[in-house]
């Protein structure tokens, strides 16, 4: 019975070497940083309404929690250690982000100015984070019928669009946001 409890806690692998647990911490740190880097690279459309920072937390904790549930060679302790390290890294990263706007910008990204003075800044579109079609859809969601109504629009790092409209008397016609209709 005692052997069974030890197997459940520490897995089937013969891991009496305490350096194995240091290796787990190191592997977790490397994978955490690697995942944050690639979450930033894939952009907002791939990870939805949460930022890369939260995306990594969800993925890492979910994976670490799931492995000991399904694989007998992965002990509960290893999963708990990974979750603990990920949460500590998340908290430490959050504390660093709170103190450094440069680090915040690197991890979370910056808002992108996509409409200025009623004109779409097409040079910032298509870089993996927002296409013209997506921008027009986001403007429609905000009730914008024509891009000329918009003084400034920012694509935020949470995947949403912040729109600052001109007063009604200053709006002009520029480009309709409605999808083009095709003849059938």
Q: What is the pTM of this model?
A: 0.59
- pLDDT category, 64, cuts 50, 70, 90? confident
Angle separating helix axes 76-99 and 52-70, nearest 10 degrees: 170
Q: Indicate the helix (H) or strand (E) that contains 164.
A: strand 161-165
The listed range with the strongest mean pLDDT (2-11, 12-21, 53-62, 116-125) is 116-125
Find tokens 């005692």 and name the residue.
Answer: 2
* Res 12: pLDDT: 67
């Amino acid at each position: 019975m005692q052997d069974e409890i030890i197997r459940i806690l520490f897995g089937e692998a013969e891991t009496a070497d305490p350096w194995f647990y240091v290796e787990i911490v190191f592997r977790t740190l490397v994978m955490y940083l690697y995942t944050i880097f690639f979450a930033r690279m894939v952009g907002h459309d791939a990870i939805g309404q949460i930022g890369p920072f939260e995306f990594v937390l969800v993925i890492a904790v979910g994976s670490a929690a799931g492995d000991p549930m399904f694989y007998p060679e992965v002990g509960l302790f290893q999963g708990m250690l990974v979750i603990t390290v990920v949460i500590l890294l998340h908290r430490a990263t959050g504390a660093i982000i709170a103190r450094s706007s440069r680090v915040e910008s690197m991890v979370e990204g910056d808002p992108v100015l996509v409409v200025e003075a009623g004109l779409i800044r097409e040079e910032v579109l298509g870089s993996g984070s927002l296409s013209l079609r997506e921008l027009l859809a986001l403007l429609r969601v905000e009730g914008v019928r024509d891009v000329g109504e918009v003084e400034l629009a920012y694509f935020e790092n949470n995947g949403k669009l912040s729109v600052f409209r001109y007063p009604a008397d200053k709006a002009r016609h520029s480009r309709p946001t409605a999808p083009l209709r095709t003849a059938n």
